[in-house]
Amino acid sequence: MITAMICDAGYTWVTSRPSKQEDRERRFRMADTLLHHSLRPLVSVDSVTWGSSVHRVVTNSLGFIDASMRQIPAQTTSPRVLLLGDSFTEGVGVPFDSTFAGILEQRALSHGLDILNGGNASYAPIMYLKRTQQLLSQGVRIDEVIVFVDISDIQDEAYYHPQGDRIVLVDPPSAGRWTRLWREYRKYSFILGRVWPAVVARTVRPRRSVPLCLDGEEHSPDCRGGWPSSAAIRARFGDAGIAAAKRDMSALAARLRSHDIPLTVVVYPWPQQIRWDDVNSLQRTIWRDWAAGERVGFIDLFPPFFAVARNEGTENAILRLFIDGDIHWNPQGHQLVVTELISRYCASGDQGPLKRFC
């Protein structure tokens, strides 16, 4: 039997003889009839190995990454903040207490707040919308929603399609038979699918300003994160993904407005944007303009990340803030997000629940 499994750069395939790493993922990830995929509720298992580290993945009764297998009541006397996003918000590769969500949750305990981390690898605006609708229909109290819109959300929005009440994944088209065979083989091969991309990421550090997106390489970081810098990638999936992402985020904003729940959108760079010096990225301007039009909060984390690069050099900044050879934040990167997030809330005139941190 072949089971689809989600990974940080899209998805791979697990055969009936999964590797140890893949078997660990199967223990806490599952297919979902509404959301395409989700996390199993109330589990506590070893996570995938990232380098030489192994840490625990714990989920609560809602299937959210958490500090403990706690039951989440629909109603609570404490204001509740829902975090939404993809693998960055889930915090892949980092113990929960070192992720920005875990740090916020720990601090929230002494401020009378409840933080829920709804982040999940390979989620996109269509999932943020469906998940929020699901929680509200179940009567779950939500006082504020913060969505960490990732650069890869644009590609995911182009390939995740609503089908009735479900979300289905439509694989990107291939240019020909050999490209299709290469892509299929990479799905089944642990070496080609995971080890080789990691080796390339550690040894080849591209500095080109325009990324490439070759046939069969649709799930590479350069392709998934390259649409802000490349007109060719935007023509390939970016334009369709941007339109779909705006549509679903506007539907989310409208649903939250109907419940008087404030929404804030957060954007941030990948290592690619830092290497390509894409400081004025379309990822910033598109969501800044969208947020202004929808009259929702907007927090831009490009400046603090680029400030570290200016002060310490590009490669030193990437090594300090990101997992080596990967696009995700390490504990120092997560701490930077926490510091900037609280700073922006304290400097704003908004009176949301996170003002209690000020």
* Residue 173 in tokens: 């088209």
Q: Who has greater pLDDT, 291 or 200?
A: 291
pLDDT of residue 1: 23
Q: What is the pLDDT of residues 110-168, one digit of tens each?
A: 999 999 999 999 999 999 999 999 999 999 999 999 999 999 999 999 999 888 888 88
Buried b (16+ CB within 10 A) or exposed e, 246-284: bebbbbbbebbeeeebbbbbbbbbbbbbbbbebeebbbb
pLDDT class of 15 with cuts at 50, 70, 90: very low
Residue 213 sits at the vertex; the CA angle it makes with 207 and 214, to the nearest 5 degrees, is: 120
- The Cα–Cα gap between 59 and 42 comes to 5
pLDDT class of 50 with cuts at 50, 70, 90: low
- The Cα–Cα gap between 168 and 344 comes to 36
pLDDT of residue 97: 95
Q: Name the region of 324 (left: φ>0; alpha: ψ -120 to 50; beta: rest).
A: beta
pLDDT of residue 21: 61
Closest by alpha carbon to 118, among 64, 176, 179, 68?
64
* C-alpha dihedral sign at 47, 50, 51, 55: negative
State the CB neighbour count (10 A cutoff) for residue 209. 11
**Is the predicted pLDDT of residue 187 greater than 50, yes or no?**
no
- The Cα–Cα gap between 257 and 206 comes to 43
- The Cα–Cα gap between 316 and 26 comes to 35
Residue 47 sits at the vertex; the CA angle it makes with 44 and 53, to the nearest 5 degrees, is: 130
pLDDT class of 205 with cuts at 50, 70, 90: very low
- The Cα–Cα gap between 289 and 312 comes to 31
**In terms of CATH, what superfamily is 3-357?**
SGNH hydrolase (3.40.50.1110)
State the CB neighbour count (10 A cutoff) for residue 230. 19
* Residue 246 in tokens: 């705006």
Closest by alpha carbon to 190, among 180, 199, 203?
199
**Is the predicted pLDDT of residue 319 greater than 50, yes or no?**
yes
Instruction: Looking at mean pLDDT, say which of 178-192, 212-226, 317-331 comes out highest.
Output: 317-331
pLDDT class of 48 with cuts at 50, 70, 90: low
Instruction: Looking at mean pLDDT, say which of 2-11, 173-182, 206-215, 249-258 comes out highest.
Output: 249-258
**Which positions ≥6 away from 351 have C-beta within 8 Å?**
none
For the chain, the domains span 3-357
Give, rounded to a whole angstrom, the gap between the first and last alpha carbons of the chain.
Answer: 52
pLDDT of residue 212: 78
Contact yes or no for 217/206 (Cβ under 8 A) = no
